[in-house]
């Protein structure tokens, strides 16, 4: 027996809430990396020892991965947020077809 529409919508809402928590974790960690890089640059300028600017280069390089993950999570959230509209407005067969396309797009986009 297939799950009801309410159960499906509740699952989508749960996933969106979980994704929001993960997204905020990435944002906080990204800001922390950025602040560490800025602190290293300020330390280099104050002390005159420009070797302190080297860690900021590393932290700047480390910003790529969390920003990429934030973008991916937001893309998935947008796709998941459209699912309830598809379920509510389309006939069951068309809705199922569109959701399959949506899921395919979500999982293919991660590769």
Tens digit of pLDDT for each residue in 65-84?
888 888 888 888 887 787 77
Q: What is the pTM of this model?
A: 0.67
Counted domains in the chain: 1
Q: Give the model's pLDDT for residue 1.
A: 47
Asked if pLDDT for residue 15 goes beyond 60, the answer is yes
Residue 87 CA, chain-centre distance (Å), reads 24
Find where tokens 């068309």 sit.
94
Task: Give residue 95's domain range.
Answer: 5-109
The torsion angles phi and psi of 90, rounded to 5 degrees, stand at -100, 155
Read off the pLDDT band of 111 (50, 70, 90): low
pLDDT computed for residue 24 by the predictor: 92
């Amino acid at each position: 027996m297939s799950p009801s529409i309410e159960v499906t919508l509740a699952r989508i809402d749960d996933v969106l809430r979980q994704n929001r928590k993960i997204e905020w974790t990435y944002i906080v960690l990204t800001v922390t990396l950025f602040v560490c890089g800025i602190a290293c640059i300020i330390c280099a300028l104050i002390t005159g020892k420009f070797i302190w600017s080297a860690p900021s280069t590393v932290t700047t390089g480390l910003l790529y991965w969390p920003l990429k993950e934030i973008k991916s999570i937001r893309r998935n959230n947008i796709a998941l947020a459209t699912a309830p509209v598809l379920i509510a407005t389309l006939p069951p067969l068309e809705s199922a077809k569109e959701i399959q396309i949506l899921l395919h797009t979500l999982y293919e986009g991660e590769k």
